[in-house]
Amino acid sequence: MTKAILTCALNGVLTDPRQHPVPVTPAECAASAREAYDAGAAIIHVHFRQQEPGRGHLPSWDPAVATEIVTAIRAACPGIIINATTGVVGPDYQGPLEVIRALRPEIAACNAGTLNYLKIKANGDWAWPPMVFDNPPSKVADFLAVMAETGTLPEMECFDTGIVRSVAMYIANGMMKRAQYNLVMGVASGMPVDPRLLEILIDYLQPGANWQATLVGRAGIWETHQKAADLGGMLRTGVEDTFYLPDGSRATGNGALIEALAGCAQRAGRGVASPEEARVLLGL
């Protein structure tokens, strides 16, 4: 079986850095990325946050901020592959497009379909006002066009089974040439974290496509990471996705999470790919 490509989900968005170990500034992002790199990460998936005091939980689509963060990460992690976020709600998504044009990252997330983004409290109240994470085909096509322009590999973010199946339609329609899948599990109104589901989903991927599973939350994630490793997938974790290690303890940062993820690869009899090896495996 091929070596496992490990992705560190560096920081995400909205999680408050005053309460959780999520990096925000270029220096913090570089230091946290280096911990993940030393533990075996070949790819850093990065979100960009506002740099003003008290606003570090909010997204930034300022190309200058994104460039400063990515430059710091690359300096700290020689040869690392950058996977940039693009997710945004609503019809105004010029900010993410301009960030991709400025960075020209090797990989970028491309949200592949629309999802009712919901979460319920124990008492039945909504955890936040119900919202729609809108990604109609026209929006997807705009992101794919800019990624083609910058030579960026789209990683198709799939929150539900119908979104997984839509990716093949984008290829058939000529919107993209090949797929790399990110199977997002654990959003309350999307696919659950369930290792059994992985065995079903991989039958619906394009032949020969690379894939990984993003596992959000706490329950069942490490069992499912192990299943992804056993099935030959890429592997991803980081403080964007979870704060919890396999023994249930709270991780202090990304390095410990990536170290645990490397253990999943090793138990599956797989080595861990370097950034150079990952580039070959992904055709970058």
Burial of 223 (0-12, 13-18, 19+ CB in 10 A): middle
What does the alpha-carbon distance between residue 130 and residue 150 come to, in Å, rounded to a whole number?
35
Q: For 1-21, give one letter per residue: b (16+ CB within 10 A) or e.
A: eebbbbbbbbbbbebeeeeeb
User: Which band of pLDDT confidence, cut at 50, 70 and 90, is reported for residue 179?
Assistant: confident
What are the start-end ranges of the E strands in 135-279? 153-158, 180-185, 210-215, 234-237
Q: pLDDT-derived band of residue 1, with 50, 70 and 90 as boundaries? A: confident
Residue 105: is its pLDDT beyond 90? yes
Query: Going by DSSP bridges, is the β-strand pair 234-237/210-215 parallel, antiparallel, or unpaired?
Result: parallel
Q: Phi then psi for 107, rounded to 5 degrees?
A: -135, 150
Flag whether pLDDT at 280 surpasses 90.
yes
pLDDT band at 181 (very low <50, low <70, confident <90, very high): very high
Each residue's pLDDT tens digit, 125-143 = 999 999 999 999 999 999 9
CB atoms within 10 A of CB 224: 23
DSSP state of 152: P
> Which residues, in sequence order, are CB contacts of 128 under 8 Å at separation 6+?
119
Cα 77 to Cα 274: distance, rounded to the nearest angstrom? 12
pLDDT, residue 191, reads 97
CA distance linking residue 101 with residue 124, whole number of Å: 43
pTM over 0.85: yes
Asked if pLDDT for residue 14 goes beyond 90, the answer is no
Residue 273: per-residue pLDDT: 98
Q: What are the Cα distances from residue 213, in Å, to 61, 265, 278?
A: 26, 14, 17
**What is the mean predicted confidence (pLDDT) over 279-284?**
96
Q: Which domains does the chain have, with CATH numbers?
A: 6-282 (3.20.20.70)
Of the candidates 93, 189, 177, 185, the one whose C-alpha atom is nearest the C-alpha of residue 143 is 93
- Flag whether pLDDT at 259 surpasses 90: yes
pLDDT digits 0-9 by tens, 209-244? 999 999 999 999 999 999 999 999 999 999 999 999
Looking at residue 148, its pLDDT comes to 97
